Amino acid sequence: MKLIIDDVNIEKIKDVFSIFPIDGVTSNPSILYKYGKQPYEILREIREFIGENSELHVQVISESSEGMLKEAHKIIKELGKNTYVKIPVTREGLKVIKILRKEEINVTATAIYTQMQAYLAGKAGAQYAAPYVNRIDNLGANGVQVAKDIHDIFEKNNLKTEVLAASFKNSQQVLELCKYGIGAATISPDVIEGLIKNACVDVAVENFKKDFEILCGQGNTMLNCR
C-alpha cells in the first residue's frame, strides 16, 4: 500500500517526508482553501520539493466536461506528467476520465461514495479510485468495507485501477485497508503521526537507555563504551 500525504502545508510535508516512507501528495480544493496560498504557487513548491518521481494529485473545479478538460491540461502543463488529475465521478466526470486516459493523462477518480462509481471510473480507465472512508462512515455506512469491495471489484473485473482510499480519521481504518492490500492510502499528517505513536514503545526505549546507563555511565552509548 502506497502512503500519500493529504495536505498542501509545505512545512508539514517536508517534516513528514523526512520521517515516513511517503510516495506522494494529494490535494483537494478545501485543503488548498485551508492553507490559503494561491494554488499553483503552493503546488509548484510541493512539486519542486517531492521531485518528479513522486505522485502529486490535483483536483479540477469545473462541473462541465469542457471546463474539466481545460483545467486538466493546465494542471499537467504547470505541474508535470507525474501529476494525477482528480476528477469527481459525476456523469460529466466519467466522460472526462475516458478522454483524459486516451490522451495518456493520469487520472484519480475522486468523490467516491459507492462501489458502482468506482467500477465505472475503473472501466473508464482511471488509474486510481478514491473512496472517502470516514465520510462514508459518517453516513452510517462502512467506509472500510466500501474500499475493500472496490478493491475486489477491480480484481474480479481485471481492471488495473487501484484503490486510493482517502478521508481517514484514525489508525484503525488505515490498518484494516493495509491488511487488505489496497493500492494506496492518502492520509492527513496528524493521522500519519498517529500510525507510529505508542506510549509502550516510548517506555521500552527509555528503559533500555536506563539499563545501559547503569552499566556504562550516564550519557554513554555504544559509541563510547568499552
Residues annotated as catalytic (active site), given as ranges: 86
Q: How far is the CB of 130 from ligand G3P (least distance, A)?
A: 6
Stretch that binds ligand G3P, among 94-102, 128-136, 146-154, 204-212 (CB under 6 A): 128-136
Pick the closer one to ligand G3P by CB: 151 or 169.
Answer: 169
Based on the shown chain and the rule CB under 6 A, indicate whether residue 7 belongs to the binding site for ligand G3P: no
Q: Which of 74, 113, 135, 216 binds ligand G3P (CB under 6 A)?
A: 135
Q: Which of 72, 132, 137, 187 binds ligand G3P (CB under 6 A)?
A: 132
The residues, ordered by sequence, that sit 6+ positions from 201 with a Cβ below 8 Å of its Cβ are: none
Based on the shown chain and the rule CB under 6 A, indicate whether residue 117 belongs to the binding site for ligand G3P: no
> Taking the CA atoms of the chain, what radius of gyration do you get in angstroms?
21
Q: How far is the CB of 93 from ligand G3P (least distance, A)?
A: 14
The residues, ordered by sequence, that sit 6+ positions from 32 with a Cβ below 8 Å of its Cβ are: 8, 39, 42
The rounded distance, in Å, linking the Cα atoms of 37 and 59 is 16
The residues, ordered by sequence, that sit 6+ positions from 62 with a Cβ below 8 Å of its Cβ are: 68, 70, 71
Based on the shown chain and the rule CB under 6 A, indicate whether residue 12 belongs to the binding site for ligand G3P: no
The rounded distance, in Å, linking the Cα atoms of 163 and 22 is 17
Residues 22-61 within binding reach of ligand G3P (CB under 6 A)? 28
The rounded distance, in Å, linking the Cα atoms of 134 and 143 is 6
Given the rule CB under 6 A, which residues bind ligand G3P?
A: 6, 28, 132, 134-135, 166-167
